[in-house]
Amino acid sequence: MVGSAIYRKLQKEGFNNLLTRTSAQLDLRNQQAVSDFFEKEKPEYVFLAAAKVGGIIANNTYRADFLYENLAIQNNVIHESWKNGVKKLMFLGSSCIYPKLAPQPLKEEYLLTGLLEETNEPYAIAKIAGIKMCDAYRAQYGCNFISVMPTNLYGYNDNYHPQNSHVLPALIRRFHEAKISKASEVVVWGSGQPLREFLFADDLADACYFLMEHYNENHLINIGTGKDLSIKDLAILIKNSVGYEGKLSFDSTKPDGTPRKLMDVSKLHKLGWKHTIELEEGIGLAYQDFLSKQPD
């Protein structure tokens, strides 16, 4: 989802010498394969958006995979970028890097000031390592490697897997299937009380392009909207967008995760970038994309 959004943005800006590989074509966990790719292609700029990602259940279930595979991807790409003289690299992390009970909204300086949320700790540790790796290569070798931390993302080409997807696409699928089957009720995991922030992937791509041009500092910078809402209110928005008319209930036996994850985006706003796609519009766009990928 993120990689395709960045690709569309670069095309829109007139770039045509774009190097891309699917995971089937290039396994970024494979050190030799990544080394061979960089040696052959010699990219000048790298957007490192590749990662093993998933929702709260996937993060908690595949703890070893999320830690090992993300560390392998980052280590290989960042190291080979240095070895092959990449002019600038952007590493994309996640808002889950911040402590579970950090003050809200989440400022960049809150990194490593407290314990992480248990369910996604392995993924968060991998992403923190990526941030520190970019800073270390900058400090030791003078590399212009930057780290950006997006909030929760959704949009075109999202993952709608019934168990392993994130909350917004999972709810789109659940409400759509309930609408088609005329189910009387949709049950949403958790209490509905946690607050979450959501950014459309094409807005993220626009921010990444902006920061690739204008941000050249160590440490990280947040990317988000600076606005959040409860999971209950999100579910109601999606229910209305999909057109499901049944009952909505919440299963409080399922985990809620972090109580709140709102990004402080004042650093980004001061540089001159703000999002343009509001949540209600974005959900409509995402639902249309979901429908376009359904079998006839």
- The two most distant CA atoms of the chain are separated, in Å, by 60
- Cβ count near 79 (within 10 Å): 16
For residue 248, is pLDDT > 90? yes
From 45, 62, 98, 123, active-site residue? 123
- Comparing 48-57, 107-116, 194-203, the range with the smallest average pLDDT is 48-57
Mean pLDDT of 91-119: 94
CATH number (3.40.50.720, 3.40.30.10, 1.20.120.1200, 3.30.565.10) of 2-290 reads 3.40.50.720
Range 222-241 average pLDDT = 97
Encode pLDDT of 35-61 as tens digits.
999 999 999 999 999 998 877 778 888
Q: Residue 48, class by beta-carbon neighbours within 10 Å (0-12 exposed, 13-18 middle, 19+ buried)?
A: buried
Please state, in angstroms and as integers, the Cα–Cα distance from residue 76 to each residue in 12, 123, 284, following that order: 29, 17, 37
Annotated binding residues: 92-95, 127, 150-153, 166, 174, 189, 196, 256
Mean pLDDT value across residues 116-120: 90
Summary mean pLDDT of the chain? 94
Query: What's the CA gap between 226 and 197, in Å, rounded?
Result: 7
In this prediction, residue 161 carries a pLDDT of: 79
The reported pLDDT for the residue numbered 51 is 92
- Taking 80 as the threshold, does the pLDDT of residue 284 lie above it? yes
Q: Are 78 and 130 in contact (CB under 8 A)?
A: yes
* Residues flagged as binding site for substrate: 174, 189, 196, 256
Known binding-site positions for NADP(+): 92-95, 127, 150-153, 166
Q: Quick check: 124 and 96 in contact, CB under 8 A?
A: yes
Peptide bond just before 105 cis, omega within 30 deg: yes
Orientation angle between helical segments 121-141 and 63-83, nearest 10 degrees = 10
The count of C-alpha atoms lying within 13 angstroms of the C-alpha of 239, restricted to the half-sphere facing its C-beta, is: 17
Q: Is 269 helix (H, G, I), strand (E, B) or coil?
A: helix
Angstrom CA distances, 116 to 61, 142, 153, stand at: 17, 30, 20
Told to judge if 68 belongs to the known catalytic residues of this protein, a careful annotator would answer no
Q: What's residue 63's pLDDT?
A: 95
